Every structure is written in C-alpha cells, then in structure tokens.
Amino acid sequence: MKKETLIAITLIVVALLVFAAYQISSSPATASKEKTVRDGSKVQVEYIGMLEPKYGNLVFDTSMYEVAINNDTYPKVATFRIHDKSVYKPLMVHVGKPSEGTYKQVVKGFSEGLIGMKVGETRTITVPPKEGYGMGDPSLIKTLPLVENVRMRETYSRPQFSAYFTESPHVGMVVEHPVYHWPMIVENVFDNYVVVRNNPGFNRTYSMDSWDIKVLGIDSTADNGNGTIEIRHLLTKDDMFRIKGTGYVNGKEKTYILTDVNETAGTYTIDYNDVTQGRTLVFRVKLVSIDAY
C-alpha cells in the first residue's frame, strides 16, 4: 500500500472518530444530565401565589412587579399589599433546608414542588394547608348573620361618648353612629352616662367602613320598649376574599378578611387568620437559576 493511501485512510478514521465523539456528546442521553433542582439546591425563582380556583385564583403574593400592579389580569385578595418596585426580585430559596444567608427556607409543599425543575422551566405547584401555612386558629373565624337586629337605644358612659364623638353631649344633639354611620340623636344626658337613639331611615342604605347595609325594619316597641332596627349586610359570594376590615381580638385591633357568604344559611364569615392559612394555595413558578447544586 502506498504511503499516500495509508495517510488518507488514517485521516478518514480520525475524522470518523471525532464525528462519533461529537454525536455522543450531544445525544439525548447526555442532555438528560442537565442540572435539575434537588434537595439542598440553592435556587432563584419568580412566582405568583394564588388561592385555589374555587376562590377565583386571587393573587395573595408575587415576586413580580408587573403582576403586582396589574389587577385586571391578576385580581388580588383584599389583604394584598403593593410594595416599592425595588422590592420585587426573584425569591432565593434553599430547597428543603433551613435559611442560609440570602437563601430562604420556604414551606414544604413549595420546596418539594421545585425538585426536578430545570432552568427556564415553568411549573404549577399546588400546596394543601398541611404542607403550607397550616389551618390557622379556628377561634379567629367568626360566622355571623346576614340579617341582624340592632338596639334602637344605646347607652354610653360620658368618657365613651367623648371618645367616640369628640364633643360634650346635650339633649337633641345629632351625631353619627361609629359603625353604621347613620344619624343618632342624644335623648338623655345624666351625670355618668348618655342615652342615644339610633335614627336611620327605613329602607335606606348606609355604608359601613367595609361594606353596605340596608335598613329592613324599625320597631320602636320591641325589646321592652328599647326598640330594634333590622338590617341586612349587603354581601354576596362575589365579595369573598375581596373585602377586609378591622375588629378587636383579645383587646387588640386586628385585620380580618371576608371568606364566605352563604345566602342559603343567611350567614357570612370573617377570618382573622392570615389569608394563606386553612386554604389550598397554587404557585406558578419559573426557575431562574440554580446557584448551588
């Protein structure tokens, strides 16, 4: 065999070996070894946290400013807060582990849902209460009637009257009810207390701090002559999680959210727990980076 022919054959063999090596390095089997999130990884994610679909997919938290300010596409729960734009950035997570530096520990269901993700992948993670923020305190959930009776006459101590109405009382004085915002008339003033008569209009609607009420009836002879006013809270299922208010729990002012309206039972429910407690949550997550594998 001529020397030139041998050299040519050798070059062809080398070229084939190089091509084969390239094919192997770029084959699906090798690509499948791309890094994925595992227990202990340190990652960065963008996310939208929502209530489950039966509650309207209302957003309660997000890492993205564009989502935070867009209420048309991403309607929010009443307790949602918009922060300064600089606050919005990918969440740094220490998967399945305690917080370490800027990498935070997150609830079990969220953390486990990240495992197996690749950079750039988007995933929907459903987190039940037991793997999320728990059930909350049942004593902080109050179910109340949609229709109720309010006493026509109320008694205030002199200090209470001054605190509520910032004026000294006199007979015939007209003030505004601190809760229902209808007119009240001072009927009697004594040394230590003041008697005030609620004086709303029949069939009139009044605005409380968080929602409206309607006066259904007025009976001045009921309750042993003290009189009663029948009102209805004008709430519907469309208001669920979209209305918040404040009340007092163990003497401390606390925020509640409207979580249920049951017109068949004639009740509504307010919950002083955090909105994330006692409910299944849905997170739409995009993996931005794996910083430590």
141 and 130, same structural domain?
no
Q: What is the mean pLDDT of residues 232-254?
A: 95
Instruction: Write the single-letter amino acid at 202.
Output: F
Pick from 250, 248, 241: which is nearest to 268 by CA?
241
243 and 120, same structural domain?
no
Q: What is the mean pLDDT of residues 76-86?
A: 97
**134-177 tens-digit pLDDT:** 999 999 999 999 999 999 999 999 999 999 999 999 999 999 99
Residue 4: partners with Cβ closer than 8 Å, 6 or more residues away: none
Pick from 48, 51, 73, 50: which is nearest to 259 by CA?
51
Q: Does 111 fall in a domain? A: yes
Q: What is the mean pLDDT of residues 50-59?
A: 96
CATH number for position 260: 2.40.10
Helical spans, DSSP H, in the chain: 3-25, 28-31, 65-68, 108-114, 158-165
Q: How many domains are contained in the chain?
A: 3
- Cα separation of 55 and 78, whole Å? 13
Domain coverage including residue 215: 151-226
